[in-house]
Structure 1
Amino acid sequence: MPDVPVGEIRTSRLVLRPASERYAGDLQNYYSENRAHLQPWEPLRPNGFFELDAIADRLRLMERHNAAGSALHLLVCRPESGALIGDCNFTNVVRGPFQACHLGFSIARQAQGQGLMRESLASAIEYVFRNLRLHRIMANYRPENARSAGLLERLRFEHEGRARSYLKINGSWADHILTSLLNPEDVE
Structure 2
Amino acid sequence: MARRNPAHKAALSVVCAGAVLGAGSFMIPGAAPVEAESGEAVYSSETNEAALETLQTIYTKASEGSSIGVADNFLIGKTTRADVIDSLGEPYLSDAFDIYHAEMGNPGFSFAYSQDGTLKEIRYLGTNVERQTNLGSITPAVLEDQLGKADAITSISQTNQHKYQYDTGDFELEFIVNDETLQVDHVNLVPNN
Normalised to the residue count of structure 1, the TM-score between the two structures is 0.30
- The structure that is helix-richer by fraction is 1
Normalised to the residue count of structure 2, the TM-score between the two structures is 0.29
Query: Which one has a bigger Cα radius of gyration?
Result: 2
